[in-house]
Structure 1
Amino acid sequence: MKRSGPLVTLLAGLLLGLFMLSLNATTGEKTSSSYQGESPAAKSSPTPTAVTPSPSRSPSPSATPIPDADYAGRTSDDSAAVAVTLNDGKAIAYFCDGRAKESWLKGDVEDDGTMRLTGRHGAKLNGTLKEGKRISGTVDIDGGRYAFTADKAKKPSGLYRATATVRGAKVDGGWIVLPDGRQVGVLTRDGESSPAPRIDPETGAVTVDGQQLTARPVTP
């Protein structure tokens, strides 16, 4: 009996060892199976970034072209007349007091109706077309500044010019026919200015020193 005690103890130890080995093997298999069986979908994947399309730019509306037209009027002090002819974005103007002072000016018309015209000897016209009905602005000439308003004119009103050689003299005449029928003009003979004779607005006919000329509408 005394010898069986250690034997029993040894057998019990062996059984316990075998049980622990079996338990470890089973736990390892479950852990491996659990790891290998994990679904790929369970793995975290980067969230795709939404791309917002940039709004397409709508084409800007094209600027409305300045209509071709004639304008005629007088200065605020009623000392002179001003006529402006617009054609294809260009402008030509004539300032005339009907005695000796005159100036031809020209330049471009901007899309907003503004214009800055220039002439000889530093003459300038700054004007603005308003609603297609009239041009208002100022003319700077010979050290003076003249405010003016020129309303839209219908033929035969408008701006006329005639150039020719009469009896050996170079003649250059400018006329403004106002909407009320009045005429303002200056005739220059070899650099000498004087009031211009009246023209026939319907035909442009004018007699200068006994010779008949034709004054024609002015376009830029």
Structure 2
Amino acid sequence: MSSEEKAVTASRPENRQERKERTRRAILDAALEMLAEESFGTLSLRSLTKQVGIVPTAFYRHFATLDELGLSLVDESFMTLRDLIREVRSGEPAPETLIDHSVEVLVAQLETHKAHFRFIGRERHGGNAVLRDAIRHELGMFERELATDLARMPGLERWGAADLHVLASLFVDLMVAAAGELVSPSAEQPPVRRQLVDNLRNQARMIVVGAAGWKPLEP
């Protein structure tokens, strides 16, 4: 959109649908901000709506329940993860550079989307069963997609589905765990961050070394 188009849009009064979308976005953003300091299970509807500047009853024009808000945050957070995976796949990096490339992409995405990764990392094992199940389902989809990608890599063509799933789950677990550490307050310190990134890179390489010596399971 050009600067002239933005100026016209800004000067035009919002219609009802636009106001509704803006308020919905404000609720999601406020929830993410509050969840940087607390778990979803402790999120208060009254505190959330106060943060947004609306009355509690207005919340229900956008979400039927707090759980529905949480599921929207899960969907949004995994859209960020999908963007990350697409960027890792882009350019089809060579196997010997894939780990470094993947770590670089993850670290860059974390810097831009800290709130989303912090939310996933915390609620993956949080007290809300609805969110836990939704996150488990999304991570399972990632594992299946990654297993398909791994099947095309040199040396893994003869691996069975069970082996590929084990390897994919190791990488997904490592990525999610590392993401949670890298968005923690302590990771704001450059020495701590460098150590975490080095650990992530070495752990990924260790998985690859172990995979090279793995004897495929019987089908």
Q: TM-score, normalised by structure 1?
A: 0.22
When normalised by structure 2's length, the TM-score is: 0.23
Higher normalized strand content (fraction of residues) = 1
Q: Tell which has more relative contact order, 1 or 2 (C-alpha 8 A, sep 6+).
A: 2
Decide which structure has greater helix share.
2
